[in-house]
A and B are shown apart, each in its own frame.
Chain A
Amino acid sequence: MNLALLGALAKTFAFISIIAIGGATATVPEIHRQVVETMHWMDDTAFANSLAVAQVAPGPNVMIVGMIGWQVAGGAGFAVAMAAMLAPSCLLAFTVGRLMRHYSNLEVVDIARQALAPVAVGLILASGIVVARAADRGALTIAITGAMTLFVALTRANPLIGILAGTVSGLIAGRAGLFV
Chain B
Amino acid sequence: MNDVLNFAPPPAALKNVTHRDLFLVFAKIGLLGFGGVTGWLRRVLVEEQGWLEDRDFAELFGLASTLPGANTIAVSIMLGDRYQGPSGSIAAVTGLLAMPLLILAGIASLYGQFANLPDVKNAIAGAAAATAGLVIGNAFKMARNMKPDAVAYLIGIAVFICAGIFQLPLLWTLLAVIPTSIFVLTIRKRVL
Contacts and interface: CB of A to CB of B under 8 A. Distances in A.
A149 B137 contact: yes
Q: Is the interface of B mostly helix, strand, loop or mixed?
A: helix
Given A116-B66, A120-B58, A173 B122 contact: yes
Contact of A125 (B59, B86, B99, B139): B139
B68 A59 contact: no
Contacts, number: 388
Given A115-B181, A120-B61, A97 B134 contact: no
Contacts of A62: 69-70, 73
A136 B62 CA distance: 27
Nearest to B114: A56
B50 interface: no
Interface of B: 3-5, 7, 9-10, 30-40, 42-43, 47, 55, 57-59, 61-74, 77-78, 81-82, 86, 89, 93, 96-97, 99-101, 103-104, 107-108, 111, 115, 118-119, 121-144, 146, 148, 152-153, 155-160, 162-165, 167, 169-171, 173-174, 177-178, 181-182, 185-186, 189
8 contacts: A19-B68, A20-B68, A112-B178, A123-B65, A144-B129, A148-B132, A149-B136, A169-B126
